[in-house]
Structure 1
């Protein structure tokens, strides 16, 4: 059966309905109590960093979540995976300095040193709280296979390399602005791979410069992924609503990004439809030949 593209009016109406479902779903989402507890435990385990170091971390690894030193991870029973590149942050250099007025020595910051740290996803070993309550989408479907193929094609048109491979830690996938490539974990279910692929595709198209806050980046990418996947028959609400709620500082935060999500989703849907139409035409021509 040849794919039939909907009219612009039909597409916009459906996207508006899905946007409303997204808004209501996120604002009414309730987090699994055990997962919420795990998030609090993770926050307590890992060190807090200054605003400057947080910026340095996310410039080097946009998907970083829980960061600590090699020594700290060893204390937690985890080892840095061989070959992982460290993230560099600044640590104060402290020395004894003589006070000119009192003549006594005082410990003062005399500069900063670049020190290596690693993200949770770069380590392996003893399970930590969040790994026990990881959000996930189960199942495989024809819809997910079609969505993944469309993402591959659209990414390639933008000269963005797409692959599925091993991704350490709890990360489902990532987009690397430096390498301009998307990687999706090959351990996920088909449905989860498709959702993650669209999520990272949004990052590749919209968040290359990383000028937005993490809340905005993640909310927009996941919101657009929900709408695109739902439009093509894959419901990701059981994952997307809670995911966005976790990243939202306030319950109504999703409302700030609605217009942006709507616009991005509409554009992507049009690109997906172009791919599906082209793919159907190619199959028909091959059959005739």
Structure 2
């Protein structure tokens, strides 16, 4: 019987997984990290969950499972990339630094039989790409590197919405959702009606931005059937968590207390996993709509894999 227990980082309540055995599939990674979260939440600690939500914004081009891995191993990570990617950016990983272990898919070519190949009219379809498994790769945070300064494509002043307001409005309209500003919804700051959002005029820019993200999240998440039954409290917490992720990522003071996120878990591991997945997916979609092409190419979205070997091609972690 394995009696190895997770340990806790001295500077936080974020636990670390035992050295062995290591999860080898994306689903195992998610299950292991969610279990650690559950143990922390049941002990009354929600700092780890807040760290995961913060990482969702910083690394929204990565998979849900790898975001969990990055946040667990290095909660304060800001920008991550593999050795090769950092070298291409003119930076070197400092001696003695420990990499952040994530999983990269291994893509191989499943060669078709001669009879199938002869029938195919598309030469590219002869050797169809197929997922053959996962392998561990290591990325490093910018704080573990030294060298050339990184480019900053957009100045982000804390507390100022700037150009992101217009981008968020366009994102809402692109989702096929009507947007109007109505005094009659007071004292509510925003309302979601299913295909239409109403926002109370006169809010401070940061508050208005967060309110619109919150209501957009309701439209994207809660107007269709869910796999797991939710409560109003869970739905509101999911929408607020998405507003937290998006607002914090563009440099706003998100404001929601860490302890509030504990409401995502009330003894239901399946619901917690589903909530985190939909929060990550929805926040990533909104953040992608807010980004310029240059911002999307910054280091945190860089390939995490190194040069492929001759047997398989490692797809970019995304």
Alignment TM-score, normalising by the size of structure 1: 0.41
Alignment TM-score, normalising by the size of structure 2: 0.38
- Please identify which structure carries the higher helix content: 1
